[in-house]
Amino acid sequence: MKHLFVSLFLLGAFLHAWAQCTVSASEFQLEGDYLLAGLFDIHHDSSAVKQHRPEAIDCSSKPFIRSSYRRFQLMRFSVEEINNSTKLLPDVSLGYEIFDHCSDIHNFPGIFKLLSVDGLIQPWGEPHKNVSKLMAVVGTYTSTQALSVAPLFMMDLIPMVSYGAASSVFSRKQNFPSFLRTVHPNKDVIEVIVNIMQHFNWRWVAFLNIDDDYGNDGRELFIKRIKDTDICLAYTKGLNQYTEYSKIFRQIEAQRIGIIIFFAPEWTAKALIDKAIQLNVTKKVWIAVDAWSLNKELPKKEGIKNIGTVIGVSEPKVTIPGFSDFIYSSKSQPYCENAKQNILCSQVCNCSSLSAEEILAVDPSFNFPVYSAVHAIAHALHNALQCESGRCNRNITVYPHIVLAELKKSNFTLLNQSVTFDENGDPNFGSYSIVFWNQSGDAEEIGFYNFPPKFNFFINVTKIQWYTKEKVPTSFCSQECDVGFVKKQDGIHKCCFNCEICPKGTYMHKTEDPYKCINCKKTEWSAAGSTSCTLRVVEYIPFTDSGAILIMVGAWALVGLTLAMSVLFAINYNTPVVRSAGGPMCFLILGCLSLCSLSVFFYFGKPTTSSCILRFLPFLLFYAVCLACFVVRSFQIVYIFKIAAKFRKLHSLWMTYHGQ
């Protein structure tokens, strides 16, 4: 009897559990008038799979990502919230089909199921007739996942609204016409990072990234963005499962790099930070991107404080009303994931052991993007069905491309944020928070970055506890040059240079060109090591100066004396004394001496071009004539007294022809 009682009890328990399984639907599926698809990497397969034959991937056996499971639950909550709303899609129900998209390249069965009609895919039929109840897709999380599946949705213009794929390639509408996203593209994250670099004057940095579409795109955008700045990329490396971390850290240490930007998802960040702690990497500033800056586990790791200071860029923390209650309610209900025969292996979670408290405690990154993505699709469907006055027009046949057209025109308010998209399908809303991993192991908000047109950037430096205790860490290749010195580049990096002083007649202007000494103008001068030129000061002796008056009186006295001598010689012109002195040549000599004295008067007063010429020309000309006359007269005297004695015939000819 005892064994029979136990058997009946076990049978009753089994039947009760089976009844619950048949009543409770799977977390991955919900029936509705219109279907939304969800792609979430609840598990993540990061290992390189070597297969010798085709094999299906079992997502449930892969590492579990709690933050992705929270986002998965957020989509379920968003759909339930919309279904319970009387304003958004009244008398219309939304359903969903969600898949655990754990691999970049092995999750196509779920995608084919979404695209099929009655279990078949008919690429030869009319496009708008090949579509099932599927109206739009929410996902995927990574750029590589999106790149692998997006083309399948693009061909039928099925809207794909991603909450995490940030690669800039998705902004190309010629390749991805029905792709939109509620997460900001990589260029926006890079813009915030560069602003942080410039705010703290960090110029010598390393950029590490995951070696995939997301990470490589971030690196290319960073290199392009810092091209015309003082920031230099000293070292960069793409990371994968074969990376030798010790070699990377040795190279960073050898180049004295103090700033490390890490552009990667959380699972790659965990591997890098673990290695940094293990290898005792210290005295660094780590810049975390939004994919791992709000991680709950890493800031509390043992030894995390030894690696330096961690500053991150993150999505603002948004509290979504009702989500906590939904999680508690959802976790109190039993779900049998294998209750239905048509559930795929990518719709098995095996996460019933996870409590509501654990779900709510994990990293809240990308929660609002998921929430806004579902609501954007719902608003687009609401407009396509012409819903008003509490009713929707069910006579309208809605196709995905109609929902896409309405999605592009989105303009609604959600949790005090205006949700709109630009012409590339990128969000026109939102901002970024700047966080710091404090001593308590929390990501503390220390600033924000608002996108244009309401651009605003702020960091409260007083909240940051640097590893240097008080001083902001520095990172440079060469020390800044002193004032008046220019940089002479040393090597391939503009941040590495020698300093040379600017010579006389040149100056160094930091804002114009710190690598070149600029010549002064002709009217300017400068000493060696100057930062500007000085206008030449014109100094001259005025006519009223006592010294000038004395010199001019002397000049006039000399002129008067020469004139008196000329008058005296003119009166006694025919006397032997005047004739022996040179006769007419005396007047030439006295006249030239008078004219030479006139040049003295042009040395006083404000100089002009004419006065500068007349300072020298009269003196040089007339004094040269005067000296020439003396030479000629001296020659005549020598000729008379010397040649007459030695060359008598020549002397007689001279006298015959009345030579002087």
Three-state secondary structure readout of 28-79: CEECCCEEEEEEECCECCCCCCCCCCCCCCCHHHCCECHHHHHHHHHHHHHH
Quote the strand ranges of 194-240, DSSP E: 204-210, 232-239
Residue 335 confidence class, pLDDT cut points 50, 70, 90: low
- 594-603 contacts, C-beta under 8 A, 24 or more apart: 594/558, 594/559, 594/562, 594/563, 595/622, 596/622, 596/623, 596/626, 597/555, 597/556, 597/558, 597/559, 597/562, 598/555, 598/559, 600/551, 600/552, 600/555, 601/552, 601/555, 603/541, 603/548, 603/551
Residues 6+ apart with CB under 8 A from 166: 143, 181, 183, 184, 185, 186, 189, 214, 217
- Residue 392: the pLDDT is 93
pLDDT of 34 above 50: yes
Q: Is the omega angle on the peptide bond into residue 369 within 30 degrees of 0, that is, cis?
A: no
CB 212 within 8 A of CB 186: no
CB 102 within 8 A of CB 129: no
- Residue 53: the pLDDT is 73
- Residue 423: the pLDDT is 94
Torsion from C-alpha of 571, 572, 573, 576, nearest 10 degrees: 180
Residue 24 confidence class, pLDDT cut points 50, 70, 90: very low
| Rounded CA separation 139/256 (Å) | 41
Q: Which residues pair with 506 in a beta bridge?
A: 519
Give the pLDDT confidence of 338-375 residue by residue, as tens digits: 444 455 555 677 777 788 999 999 999 999 999 999 99
Residues of the chain with pLDDT > 70, as a percent, come to 89
CB neighbourhood size of 282 (10 A): 13
Q: Which residues pair with 388 in a beta bridge?
A: 391
Averaged pLDDT, 126-154: 82
pLDDT of 10 above 50: no
3-state secondary structure of 320: coil
Three-state secondary structure readout of 71-113: HHHHHHHHHHHHHCCCCCCCCCCEEEEEEECCCCCCCHHHHHH
Give the global pTM.
Answer: 0.77
- Residue 31: the pLDDT is 92
3-state secondary structure of 377: helix
CB neighbourhood size of 220 (10 A): 14
CB neighbourhood size of 575 (10 A): 11
CB 127 within 8 A of CB 156: yes
- Enclosing H/E stretch for 273: helix 266-278
pLDDT of 185 above 60: yes
Three-state secondary structure readout of 472-484: CCCCCCCCCCCCC
pLDDT of 272 above 80: yes
| Rounded CA separation 342/335 (Å) | 15
Q: Is the omega angle on the peptide bond into residue 140 within 30 degrees of 0, that is, cis?
A: yes
Q: Which residues pair with 269 in a beta bridge?
A: none
The two three-digit tokens of residue 127, written as one number: 């496009």
Residue 221 C-alpha from the chain's centroid:
8
Give the pLDDT confidence of 44-71 residue by residue, as tens digits: 876 655 667 776 677 776 778 889 999 9
Q: Which residues pair with 296 in a beta bridge?
A: none
CB 158 within 8 A of CB 178: yes
Top-confidence residue, 15 or 620 = 620
CB 421 within 8 A of CB 180: yes
Residues 6+ apart with CB under 8 A from 441: 299, 300, 304
- Residue 235: the pLDDT is 96
Residues 6+ apart with CB under 8 A from 633: 582, 585
Residues 6+ apart with CB under 8 A from 152: 111, 115
Give the pLDDT confidence of 93-134 residue by residue, as tens digits: 999 999 988 887 777 777 888 877 555 455 545 555 545 678
N residues, the chain: 660
Q: Which residue reads 């180049």 in tokens?
A: 255
| Rounded CA separation 230/233 (Å) | 10
Residues 6+ apart with CB under 8 A from 557: none
3-state secondary structure of 433: strand
Give the CA count within 13 Å in the CB-facing half-sphere of 56. Answer: 9
| Rounded CA separation 479/461 (Å) | 23
Between 303-317, 440-454, 548-562, 645-659, the lowest mean confidence (pLDDT) is in 645-659
Q: β-strand 29-30 against 94-100: which pairing, if any?
A: antiparallel
The helix, strand and coil proportions of the chain, stated in percent and rounded to the nearest 5, come to 40, 15, 40
| Rounded CA separation 36/518 (Å) | 65
Residue 201 confidence class, pLDDT cut points 50, 70, 90: very high
